Amino acid sequence: MTIDDRPRFFQALSSMGVMFADDLTTPRQRLYWEVLKDMITIDEWEYACTSALRHETFHKVPLPAVLLTYVAVCREEEARRAADVRRRQFEETMLIERAERLALEASPEWQAEQEKQRANAEQERADYQAWLDAQPRHVLIALGKINPPQPERWRRLSDDDLTYEPSEPPEVAKARLRSQFRQIMDAEGR
């Protein structure tokens, strides 16, 4: 609750004091406020006070713990109402979707669209298969359609497989690669 809720809080508290013929002193009223202000909302407070007026039989304002039991009942009722609203909204949504689906399924336009999509999918599969059949063997191998890799034939690389022994000094290899690069660039006209 906030400072703006104080008048409503104290009005509900004083109503209980009148009904239960209990003299609520100012310090006692402040204690009720201090104990409850951070735990409940003003609407829950008013619900708890009304419930206490209806159900309590002892001529004394109930302690905060008793009032909090009424707040718990209020919260349960709110949660149940919210769940009912969500359930009704879900059911309405499902009914609307079902009605729309039935309306679509019944329409000849929807049936024709579904048939057209099925035919397009079958045609695309047939075109792809025809394209595969027309490809040379090396393309099919690259695509993995012929002679796919066989994992059982793979082997673990040894240290010798991973060791690099240069066949020429690095300066000579760089010079050779630069001359090859220049030849390529000259051939392309750059």
Q: Which residue has the higher pLDDT, 74 or 151?
A: 74
The predicted pLDDT at position 105 comes to 74
For the chain, the helix, strand and coil percentages under 3-state DSSP, each to the nearest 5: 75, 0, 25
pLDDT-based confidence at 149, cuts 50/70/90?
low
Q: Which residues are CB-contacts of 58 (< 8 A; sequence separation ≥ 6)?
A: 20
- Top pLDDT among 82 and 146 is at 82
* pLDDT for residue 2: 87
| The model scores a pTM over 0.85 | no
Percentage with pLDDT > 70 across the chain: 91
Buried b (16+ CB within 10 A) or exposed e, 63-84: ebeebbebbeebeeeeeeeeee
Locus of tokens 């793979």: 154
